[in-house]
A and B are shown apart, each in its own frame.
Chain A
Amino acid sequence: MPTPTYIPLQTITLGSAASSVTFASIPQTYRDLVLVVSGSVSVAVGVDSAYNSDTGNKSRVIMYGSGSSAVSDSFTDSEVIYLGSTQSTATIQIMDYSATDKHKTILARADAPSNTTMAIAQRWASTAAINSVALSPRSGRTFSTGSRLSLYAIEA
């Protein structure tokens, strides 16, 4: 029996610049999360992720086009997307977020049209179910006023 899903959990639209945005008390009754970011940051920069307030234990591989070349690199840090100072978008897929038998694999696509287009695979090396997600632009930058972040949940 088909089950309607892709449930909008919360949308945060910033009324003023913010150094971080947090989605807390995420229900554990779904399997995947999708976080859609539409907005910009004060200066083009990577955006760090924290799951369950854990700012560490992450690694990632990225692939991006700079406008003149295609580049791939990998890092042990918490960055999950890259946003520009002009309107940018990103979609972050947090797979099996409520599972407790796996490290979490996060897939993301980030498009900062003035800077880059990017695909990211991130791992959070924890088997804990995720109950909060926070995003913070790096280097003290801020999300711009009007930026909108929407969190959806998908059943499985």
Chain B
Amino acid sequence: MIPLGILAAAGGAVAAVDSYDLLVTEILTSAQSSVTFAALGDYAADYQHLQLRMVLRNNREVGYNTGKAILQLNSNTSSSSYKEHYLIGNGSAVISGTYGAVPGVTVVEMPSGPGSPAQTFAAAVTDILDAFSSSKNTTVRTLGGVHTTGTALGESKVAELVSGVFLSTAAITTITMIADSASFVTGSRFSLYGLKAGA
């Protein structure tokens, strides 16, 4: 999501450089199974959309070349509260589908296991649109991916687009990122930004 005012500023027109704000960042200093941004209602008056920018890896061990990073809203753990579809390029084919019964929206596949270089991380940019509306279900979309050149199951090749919806009209107050069946490793980064709306 590129704030249009900033694009205009680059062309010498309207300068709106404060339309996109960093709200909070967490860079892990030890492995954690989840990361939570709470009390987001404090931002409701100032922002319309949210964006998560993430660089992440999990520590799921032998037998898996990737692990899911799951976005959960308002601490709602019911899989029936979410719908999603993905479009994934895996290096040999493009596939589309859903992740099934997941307690949130799976936003990106992370590298894992000892077969991939420890310095390789997935990245994802996730937009959470109209996050503070109390009349709409909240939609999210993600561009994500990773390319590792590990051995066997250590190799992860994913470029993906994901759309998801939280089937609730409640304004978003809490965002939780969950490492499915594992933990996010040290150095994983989660940054939350707010986008203002025009008058």
Within the complex, what minimum Cβ distance (angstroms) separates A37 from chain B?
12
Are B120's CB and A103's CB within 8 A? yes
Decide if the interface of chain A is mainly helix, strand, loop or mixed.
strand
Within the complex, what minimum Cβ distance (angstroms) separates A38 from chain B?
9
Are A72's CB and B7's CB within 8 A? no
User: Is B14 in the interface zone, CB < 8 Å from A?
Assistant: no
Interface residues of A in 71-86 (CB under 8 A from B): 71-74, 76
Smallest CB-CB separation from A91: which chain B residue?
Answer: B2
User: Is B55 in the interface zone, CB < 8 Å from A?
Assistant: yes
A72 in contact with B18 given A91-B2, A103-B117 (CB within 8 Å) = no
Are A60's CB and B21's CB within 8 A? no
Within the complex, what minimum Cβ distance (angstroms) separates B24 from chain A?
9
The residue in B147, B160, B193 that gathers the most chain A C-beta atoms within 10 A of its C-beta is B147
Are A3's CB and B22's CB within 8 A? yes
Are B3's CB and A61's CB within 8 A? no
Residues of A within 8 A of B194 (CB): 2
Residues of A within 8 A of B191 (CB): 31, 154, 156
Q: How far is the CA of A7 from the CA of B25 in the complex (A)?
A: 17
Q: Which of B63-71, B99-107, B128-136, B138-146 contacts A (4 or more CB under 8 A)?
A: B138-146
A102 in contact with B187 given A59-B149, A61-B157, A62-B89 (CB within 8 Å) = yes
A61 in contact with B22 given A31-B189, A96-B121, A103-B121 (CB within 8 Å) = no
Q: How far is the CA of A42 from the CA of B55 in the complex (A)?
A: 35
User: Is A43 in the interface zone, CB < 8 Å from B?
Assistant: no
Kindly state the interface size class of chain B when it binds its partner.
Answer: 35 or more
Within the complex, what minimum Cβ distance (angstroms) separates A155 from chain B?
5
Q: How many residues of A contact B (CB 8 A)?
A: 48
A105 in contact with B21 given A72-B93, A91-B2, A121-B147 (CB within 8 Å) = no
Q: How many A-B residue pairs lie within 8 Å, measured between CB atoms? A: 161
Are B157's CB and A36's CB within 8 A? no
Are A156's CB and B121's CB within 8 A? no
Residues of B within 8 A of A105 (CB): 55, 120-123, 145-147
A102 in contact with B121 given A2-B21, A5-B193 (CB within 8 Å) = yes
Are B20's CB and A5's CB within 8 A? yes
User: Is B38 in the interface zone, CB < 8 Å from A?
Assistant: no
Are B92's CB and A73's CB within 8 A? yes
Smallest CB-CB separation from B119: which chain A residue?
Answer: A103
A122 in contact with B6 given A63-B87, A102-B119 (CB within 8 Å) = no
Residues of B within 8 A of A3 (CB): 21-22
Smallest CB-CB separation from B15: which chain A residue?
Answer: A8
User: Is A119 in the interface zone, CB < 8 Å from B?
Assistant: yes
User: Is B17 in the interface zone, CB < 8 Å from A?
Assistant: yes
User: Is B172 in the interface zone, CB < 8 Å from A?
Assistant: no
List 6 A-B pairs, Cβ < 8 Å: A8-B9, A63-B88, A63-B89, A63-B160, A93-B143, A102-B120
Nearest first, the 3 closest Cβ-Cβ pairs linking A and B are A63-B89, A121-B145, A72-B89
